[in-house]
Each structure stands twice: as structure tokens, then as C-alpha cells.
DNA sequence: GGGGCCTGAAGAAACGTTTCACCAGACTAT
DNA sequence: ATAGTCTGGTGAAACGTTTCTTCAGGCCCC
């Protein structure tokens, strides 16, 4: 029980470990400390309830563990406890594309905060259901207990079989309504950014839309109309153009610029920032200055685009980081995770985006003459 | 040995499984098939050498496994075999930022091809060494056998302790020279894109540099000078401007445009695409057209920037996908992985980028008059 | 007709934990 | 003095695999 021989023994063990290059196990620690593995386990996992280990013994075990450089084998622990602290993050192409990369980063941060590790599997665009299920099966064989299914952009997906009921869909809505989903509040974002235009005095506002991407496009349209309606403005189908969600898609703005003065819009709401980038180009090609001659707003607050346009673009920031963090909190059943978000009726949790005011909005030319009495 | 009772038994097991919601184990399969777990294991892992199991038995076991919906428990297997098919991908902020996202995607693809799963941990920018080592320790506790350390941009890093000797550094160079590193061949890329300018007839080429980012900046500079030298052109310090690697950094081009005619550059090589974006803006502000009045080239082929500028930018594509794939192949010791890449002297593997020709390069004005006899 | 070999398979240990059940001894209360 | 309680532990099973060793029985060969 004296320190001398024990130290000698620990040293011997250490030498032996280095010689055999075997990582020390709990048994080694127990032996070095002169206790049973039971005691060593109890001490090193810091269990207190129902077990009595005097401080002297505790310290002896801890010292031995440190001396030997003991690291627990999580595999063995997980096998025994039948739980793993891992989360499977499967996605279409979140990690492939720079769009929603903040979701993964925030999820990783939050997982680390809880001591969890993330298995990330990126299936690529349009992976067949069978491939998706195979990936989930592989994760299940690794005994991962929690699943997040992330999408690059907001859409509806068919949940692959094998996904447990408490899986969380991130940036997409699971069809069937049996799973929780976290998506941006598209409607609210569109409402706010369009309201920003209206409050600047605009009355004729175009919408460069991409209706091939429901539900985002439908919801942004709803927000657009809601803002219009709330301010007594009429929705004008002629100003609602369908286009593609790329820079070149914004070039269709030319058609609207060609309109006669009284029918021409003084502001444009673009489905996303890339379309807005194209709209800038179209405006400039016609000699229109942004925002003096034409106000333009976008959606997404896409990195390297929105803030780098000239002038910087007023847009709506997608709450990707908040969404990623919440997804982890939900799968881990963190209490209070939903305190900050509004109640959802349909199991779909909508996170508000944030209006980012930059320099692409100004009063319309002749605004003072156009102002309604109420403003 | 007849089918009848065995089928009944399998059915019973199935019912029991559903009732207890316990995942069937190898023992369940063995019992259902009327063999030992040894035999079941041999059959289901498809081992052939040294073991003899007649086809009839094989089929019986396989059938039982399928009937029960047996999935092996990888944790138990890994514990026994002392190997896991997992790779730890730790990075500063690869997953946080859209720069090098292709590396992770390609790594994931290649890992999946080998049946490996990726633990991804994103430490954030400038994580203290202690935090890095803690993350590596956590992965080691999960018994991950292979490590990749990825960086957002090409730089030199101090390898955190705990990383095994066969870890691969991706998009960064490990100081100390004890590890393998994979980086883009900056010199070659710069050489090629500058040569493109020279071959278009340019003789006065500016370099908008960012020397705060060695080694990339130094190597691109080397490539720049090599191209110059090879074509008998003199390096002119006055045309080498130091700036920041952002869009606004490109605005320093104004200073060069102000130069008197005979000293003004007819082309600009930008350290990266964002600087090029700023250079476009500066040129346009002075009424210069790209490429008619000024040729501009960049570096990176950054998504949503290079291809979306007006005109689209000639640049060098960073081989992120190739690098990510190779990293996996190296840690997995795939034979022939290095066949396609040139031998490296210093343990640093340099992967060639690809010149992407777009529309930002033209002959200089008055080029015919300036041409040297040789061209 | 007996030793050797081949076939087909099983028993049990091992991987590194956690945890259930139990226990020796000392002390306490009656 | 004895029964009960508390302290400080320990032994061994269990988690689900893989794999080493062993073995029964049948056949072949001489």
C-alpha cells in the first residue's frame, strides 16, 4: 500500500506498454493502481451514485491512468452500454456545394459541445433511394443513434426507409409528415425584404421567380403578395417573371426595362442573389444605375455574392447556422431547444431569416410625387 | 435437418425479435440456421480460405440472416478485429467555408468507394493546438485508424501531437517534414495562366499579389516570373502590387491604370478570383473594357465568381477534388495512387491545376505593332 | 484393418468496457 | 453477545463479434 513499490510497478507497466506498443487498457490501470477493473471503471467514469470509493483510492487510480496514458476504448464502452455518442449526418450534397455549408459547420460545433462525433455522408445530387438506404444501413451498423438528413436547398424529400422516427430533416421537408423538419421561413423573409422596398416608396415591384423550386418559391411568392396586400398594392402578373436560378436568369429583367414608363417597375425582388447579380447586369447594360434608377433585392445572402456586388445587395440571410444547431439539439432532445422558435402546426419548424440592409435600395425616382398620403 | 421445423423456428425467432424489438445478433442467426456462431460468422463474412462450409449450409445461414433482417454490429466486429473502417477528417474550416468544399466531397466519395465512413470534425479558424489535440484524442478513442488534416487554404501548419505518422495533410504543408502533404501546384498554375497572357501578345503584365499568404503567394510569384523569364520578359517591380485577397483588394488596380501610357500594363494577373473581380470593377470605373482594353486573369476558379463575371474570367482551377480523392487513397495505402502525380522531393505532393480559358484575355491594343519577331 | 487425411463443424477465448450481485470486515445499537 | 448497517470494495457476466483450436466421423491407402 506504500507509494514506493507502486511507483515502480507503474513504471514497469509504462515500459512494457512502450515495448509492446499496445495501448493500455482499463485492466492495466487497475493493476497498476492495485484495484479491480470495477473500481477503476467507476473512478475513471466519475460515477458517484451508489458507489463508494474513498478519495485516496480515486487519486491512486487517476494517477495510474495518467501515468500510463490511458485512453478509454469507446468501441468497447459503446458495445457494453449499447449507446454511441455519434450522429449520422447524411445529405444530398450539403458538403459538395457552398450553399448551405454553414448548416454543417454549426451542426458540427453543436455536436462537439455535447461530446458527440459526426459521421458525414454526402450522397451527391439525386442519389437513388436504394443508395440512400444503403448509407443509412451502414450508419446503423455502426450503431449511430441519431440521424440528420440535410439538403442543399429547401425542398420536399421522400424519407428513405431505415431512418428512425426521430430523425430530423434539415433544410428540407420530409413527405409523409412522420418526421420533424427544419426549414427557413421563406415567407417571412420575402415579406420583410419586399416590405423594405415598399417602405422606400416603391409601388411597382417586379418578382424574378424560379417556380421550379417549390416549396421555397411558392412561399417566397406568398410573402411577396402578403407585403403587397398589406400596403394596399395590387399584385400584377405582368411583373412576375419566371426564370432560372442562375446569374443569366436575371437577364430577363431586360424585358421589364423595355416596358413603357408607366408600366415599368421601379424595384425588383429576385428569387435569389444570383438572379439579382444578373439583374444588376441587365440594368447596367441598359444604362440604369442601381439603386438610383432601379432598386434590387435578393434572397439567400450568398457569400461572395451579396456583399460583393456593386453596390452591395440588400437581401435576406438564410439562417443556416441556427438551423444546423437546432437540428443537433432536436436529435439530442436538448430541453428548451424549441423555446426560441414559433410553434409549428405541421411538424415543420420554420426559422426566421434576417433582413440584411445594404445599398441596393433607394427611393424610386419621382418618389415624392408617387407617395400615397398614408406614407 | 429438414426444412419444416427449421422454418418454424425461424418464424418464431422473427416473432420474438419483433416483440422484443431487439436487433437480431449473429447468435440468433446461427440458432435459426441450426449452426454454431462460428459457422454463421464464416458464412456471413464470406470467408473461404481455411474454412470449409458446404453450399447447402451456406444457403441455410444466408437465408436465416435475411429472414431475420440480420445486420452485423460493426462495433463488436471492430472491437474483436482491432480495426475500424473509419477515417478522421479534421480541418480548420473546410466545411465552414465554400472555398475548398470539393475536397471534402471527393474525400467522402472515395471513402465510400472503399467502404469507409468519415468522422468529420471542423475546428474553426485558428483553433488552439490544445483543442486540435483534444479532437484528435477523441477520434483516437473511437479507434479511428486514419487521419486527414485539411485546411481551407494552402498554408503551413504545425502538426498537432497525437496525429499518427501516416496522417495526410490536405491543402496544407505540415511543418517538420514528418508527414505527407498534398497541395495544389501553385507555381505551375501561375506559370500557365501568365503564359496564356504572354502568348496573347502581352508584354507588360501586372501582378496583384497577396504576400501575406505564403507559401501560395510565393509560389504563384515564382510561376509568374518563370513565365516572364521564359519569354524574355523582364520582371518589373513597379507592376507588382501588394493587396488584400478580397474584392476590394482588386481596386488597387486603379493606381496602375493611372500610369502613363508606355508604363501602363496591358494585362493583370490576380492572386485570386476575388481580386480579379475587384480589378474588373476598377477597370470599368475608368472606362476600360475587359478584355478589349485590359486582359485580366485570376486564380482558384472560385464557384459563382470566375464563371459568372462579365466577361467570364480566365483562371486556374484548383484541383480540390483530385486532392481530396488522393488523400483518401494515400491514407488507405491504395496501390498506384501516386502513379499519376509527379515525384516530390520533399514529401509534398503537388497536384497540377488546370487552366480554364474563358473570355477575359485578348490581344493587347496595338498588339501587332508590339509583337516580337519570334511570336 | 489400422493409421493418416480430409470434411464439416463446434467450443471457447478474446477484444475492452460496464454493471449486477455479492461480500468481508468494522462498527453500531440493543 | 448478536443482529443489523455501513464501508470499500471484488468477481464475473455481458455486449456481439472473430478466430484459434479441437474434434468426430468417413474415406483412402497400403
- The parent domain of residue B124 ranges over 82-178+325-335+343-351
Average pLDDT, whole number, for chain B? 91
- How close B309 comes to chain A (CA, Å)? 9
Please give the biggest Cα pair distance in chain A: 99
Answer whether residue B358 is part of any domain: yes
Q: Please report which confidence band the pLDDT of residue A366 belongs to, taking 50, 70 and 90 as the band edges.
A: low
> In this model, does residue A355 exceed pLDDT 60?
yes
Residues B224 and B362 in one domain: yes
- How close A276 comes to chain B (CA, Å)? 12
Q: Check: CB of residue A290 under 8 Å from CB of residue A283.
A: yes
What is the model's pLDDT at position B4? 40
What is the model's pLDDT at position A342? 81
Q: Which residues pair with B297 in a beta bridge?
A: B269, B314
User: Residue B287: which of B257, B308, B266 has the closest Cα?
Assistant: B257
Answer whether residue B239 is part of any domain: yes
B chain contacts of residue A84, beta-carbon cutoff 8 Å:
75
What average pLDDT does this structure show over B356-368? 87
What is the model's pLDDT at position A17? 45
Residues B134 and B204 in one domain: no
Cα(B307)–Cα(B313) distance, integer angstroms? 6
Which CATH number is B62's domain given?
A: 1.10.260
Residues A211 and A299 in one domain: yes
What is the model's pLDDT at position B5? 43
Residues B246 and B363 in one domain: yes
A105 and B93 within 8 Å at the Cβ level: the answer is yes
What is the tens place of the pLDDT at every residue in A25-63? 999 999 999 999 999 999 999 998 878 899 999 999 999
Beta carbons within 8 Å of B123's beta carbon, 6+ residues apart: B90, B91, B92, B93, B131, B132, B135
Residues B194 and B241 in one domain: yes
What is the model's pLDDT at position B81? 97
Cα(B192)–Cα(B355) distance, integer angstroms? 7
Average pLDDT, whole number, for chain A? 91
What is the model's pLDDT at position B373? 43
What is the model's pLDDT at position A131? 95
Q: Please report which confidence band the pLDDT of residue A94 belongs to, taking 50, 70 and 90 as the band edges.
A: confident
In the listed set A72, A102, A121, which residue is the last one of a domain according to the structure?
A: A72
> In this model, does residue B1 exceed pLDDT 80?
no
Residues A145 and A10 in one domain: no
Cα(B222)–Cα(B372) distance, integer angstroms? 24
Answer whether residue A374 is part of any domain: no
Answer whether residue B165 is part of any domain: yes
CA A55 to C1' D7 (Å) is 13
- How close A292 comes to chain B (CA, Å)? 17
Answer whether residue B234 is part of any domain: yes
Answer whether residue A31 is part of any domain: yes
How many distinct structural domains can be found in chain B?
Answer: 3
What is the model's pLDDT at position A21? 65
In the listed set A72, A97, A126, which residue is the last one of a domain according to the structure?
A: A72
User: Residue A143: which of B79, B74, B68, B23 has the closest Cα?
Assistant: B74
Q: Please report which confidence band the pLDDT of residue B16 belongs to, taking 50, 70 and 90 as the band edges.
A: very low
Residues A104 and A51 in one domain: no
Which CATH number is B166's domain given?
A: 3.40.50.2300
Residues B286 and B330 in one domain: no
Residues A201 and A288 in one domain: yes
Tell me if residue A59 falls in helix, strand or coil. helix
Q: Check: CB of residue B297 under 8 Å from CB of residue B265.
A: no
Q: Please report which confidence band the pLDDT of residue B366 belongs to, taking 50, 70 and 90 as the band edges.
A: low
CA B40 to C1' C12 (Å) is 16
Answer whether residue A41 is part of any domain: yes
Q: Please report which confidence band the pLDDT of residue B370 belongs to, taking 50, 70 and 90 as the band edges.
A: very low
In the listed set B18, B52, B72, which residue is the last one of a domain according to the structure?
A: B72
Cα(A298)–Cα(A277) distance, integer angstroms? 9
CA B1 to C1' D29 (Å) is 33
Answer whether residue B271 is part of any domain: yes
Q: Check: CB of residue A73 under 8 Å from CB of residue B82.
A: no
B95 and A76 within 8 Å at the Cβ level: the answer is no
Q: Which of residues 163-192 of B touch strand C (CB under 7 A)?
A: none
What is the tens place of the pLDDT at every residue in A147-190? 999 999 999 999 999 999 999 999 999 999 899 999 999 999 99
Residues B87 and B56 in one domain: no
B chain contacts of residue A109, beta-carbon cutoff 8 Å:
122, 124
Residues A268 and A364 in one domain: yes
Residues A238 and A360 in one domain: yes
Contacts A–B by Cβ distance under 8 A:
128
Nucleotides of C under 7 A from a protein CB: 7-21
Cα(A38)–Cα(A269) distance, integer angstroms? 66
What is the tens place of the pLDDT at every residue in B101-159? 899 999 999 999 999 999 999 998 889 999 999 999 999 999 999 999 999 999 999 99
Amino acid at each position: 500500500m506504500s507509494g514506493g513499490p507502486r511507483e515502480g510497478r507503474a513504471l514497469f507497466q509504462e515500459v512494457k506498454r512502450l515495448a509492446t506498443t499496445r495501448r493500455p487498457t482499463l485492466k492495466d490501470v487497475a493493476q497498476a493502481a492495485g484495484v479491480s477493473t470495477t473500481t477503476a471503471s467507476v473512478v475513471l467514469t466519475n460515477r458517484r451514485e451508489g458507489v463508494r470509493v474513498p478519495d485516496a483510492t480515486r487519486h491512486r487510480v487517476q494517477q495510474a491512468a495518467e501515468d500510463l496514458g490511458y485512453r478509454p476504448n469507446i468501441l468497447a464502452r459503446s458495445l457494453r452500454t449499447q449507446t454511441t455518442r455519434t450522429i449520422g449526418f447524411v445529405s444530398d450534397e450539403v458538403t459538395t456545394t457552398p450553399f448551405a455549408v454553414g448548416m454543417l459547420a454549426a451542426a458540427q460545433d453543436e455536436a462537439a459541445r455535447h461530446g458527440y462525433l459526426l459521421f458525414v455522408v454526402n450522397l451527391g445530387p439525386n442519389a437513388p433511394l436504394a443508395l440512400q438506404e444503403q448509407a443509412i444501413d451502414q450508419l446503423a451498423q455502426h450503431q449511430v443513434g441519431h440521424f440528420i438528413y440535410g439538403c442543399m436547398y429547401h425542398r420536399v424529400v421522400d424519407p428513405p426507409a431505415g431512418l428512425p422516427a426521430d430523425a430530423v430533416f434539415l433544410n428540407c421537408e420530409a413527405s409523409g409528415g412522420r418526421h420533424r423538419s427544419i426549414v427557413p421561413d421563406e415567407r417571412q423573409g420575402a415579406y420583410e425584404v419586399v416590405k423594405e422596398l415598399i417602405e422606400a416608396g416603391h409601388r411597382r415591384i417586379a418578382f424574378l421567380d424560379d417556380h421550379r423550386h417549390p416549396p421555397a418559391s411558392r412561399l417566397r411568392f406568398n410573402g411577396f403578395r402578403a407585403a403587397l396586400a398589406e400596403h394596399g398594392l395590387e399584385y400584377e402578373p405582368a411583373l412576375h417573371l419566371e426564370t432560372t436560378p442562375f446569374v443569366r436568369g436575371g437577364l430577363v429583367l431586360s424585358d421589364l426595362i423595355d416596358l413603357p414608363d408607366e408600366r415599368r417597375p421601379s424595384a425588383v425582388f429576385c428569387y435569389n442573389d444570383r438572379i439579382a447579380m444578373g439583374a444588376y447586369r441587365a440594368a447596367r447594360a441598359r444604362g440604369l444605375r442601381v439603386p438610383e434608377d432601379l432598386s434590387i433585392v435578393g434572397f439567400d445572402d450568398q457569400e461572395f455574392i451579396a456583399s460583393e456586388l456593386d453596390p452591395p445587395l440588400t437581401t435576406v440571410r438564410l439562417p443556416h447556422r441556427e438551423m444546423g444547431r437546432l437540428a443537433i439539439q432536436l436529435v439530442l432532445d436538448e430541453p428548451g431547444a424549441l423555446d426560441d422558435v414559433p410553434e409549428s402546426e405541421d411538424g415543420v419548424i420554420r426559422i426566421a431569416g434576417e433582413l440584411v440592409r445594404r445599398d441596393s435600395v433607394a427611393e424610386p425616382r419621382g418618389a415624392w410625387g408617387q407617395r400615397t398620403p398614408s406614407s
